[in-house]
A = this chain, B = another copy of it.
Amino acid sequence: MMFRMKAVRLHAVGEPLRVEEIETPQARDGETRVRVRAAAFNRRDVFITQGLYPGIELPRTLGSDGAGEIEDGRAVVIDPMLDWGDDPHVWSPKASILGMPRDGTFAQYVVVPSGNVYPKPPHLTMEEAAALPLAGLTAYRAIVTRGELRPGETILIPGIGGGVQTFALLFAKAIGARAIVTSGSDEKLERARALGADVTINYATNPDWNKALKRGEVDAVVDSSGGDTLNKALGVLRPGGRVVIYGGTRLEATFRLFPLFWNHIDIRGTSMGSPADFRAMLEFVNAHEIRPAVDRVYPMEQVNDAAARMAQSEQFGKIVLAID
């Protein structure tokens, strides 16, 4: 057992992340210590380095996503949602996400509540398993629990490339839905086609991309972009359709009221997911042998390169850190 370990720490907003040696954390009652083998980046980690996140406490080890081994050697993956609470519809006021304020997975060891440790899906590598938790959980709740996507329905996934959107595509195809994706990059659209996207539209060369779709062609939309995407989506949603929003690249969204009320449409907000969502997501991933889209794997020492790639939204799928 090591008494010191390597960890990726943020000391001040706006500073680069530092790889340093700190004390190895000890598990207390009800906690489990995981030897992390791979971790993954989320937009949240970048927001924290930029000071764009509530409740930042520094210095802190970042990272919400991790996979590794526990003391008896079993391979595990970590649910990053802490203290969700008893209500499946909404998290409790005590809820938090691993990696802020609690020290996260960008380290050789992380200590989490034992209930947050699950067996690693056997068909996944450590890197793939590390790519799964936060984005997979968010996408699963968005698509299944909140979006209620059914076989044969059509889902619109604007702005493919980020972690949640790529999982949304994978999950939608596993459900048996038809998937329409948009991106400003032909390369990302090509990758989306390889993952099963049925229709791909480049919004950079087709700014009126919504006009390429029929009115009422879409049953559900999963989005985090804000801006005028919502308005465009409302124009192609069928009556009784729904929009699930799990984040916001822009701060605000504007929409015309008429299509919303006239077509009985729902806009449903969601963040992360409950323990039941996480369990169901793992079962779904195992049953369909879904493999997360991994963009690149960086060694821990190149964590700031990984963060820069994330900040510039260059990735397709998850950016992973290998923890040696």
Contacts and interface: CB of A to CB of B under 8 A. Distances in A.
A267 B270 contact: no
B239 A90 contact: yes
A260 B244 CA distance: 10
Given A239-B90, A240-B90, A262 B269 contact: yes
Contacts of A268: 266-267
A257 B226 contact: yes
A259 B245 CA distance: 11
A93 B239 CA distance: 9
A268 B93 CA distance: 24
Given A87-B240, A251-B256, A253-B255, A267 B264 contact: no
A270 B248 CA distance: 25
B257 A251 contact: yes
Interface in A236-284: 239-240, 245-248, 250-271
Interface residues of A, number: 35
A89 interface: yes
B267 A91 contact: no
Nearest to A241: B90
Contact of A90 (B87, B252, B259, B264): B264
A318 B169 CA distance: 49
Nearest to A266: B268
Contacts of A263: 90, 269
A252 B257 contact: yes
A232 to B, nearest CB: 14
A261 B269 contact: yes
Interface string A224-237: 10100000000000
A93 to B, nearest CB: 8
Contacts of A271: 261-262, 264
17 contacts: A87-B240, A90-B239, A91-B239, A224-B261, A245-B261, A247-B261, A248-B256, A252-B255, A253-B257, A259-B269, A260-B269, A261-B270, A262-B269, A263-B269, A266-B267, A267-B267, A267-B268
Given A90-B263, A265-B269, 10 more contacts: A93-B239, A224-B261, A248-B261, A251-B257, A252-B254, A253-B254, A261-B270, A262-B269, A264-B269, A266-B269
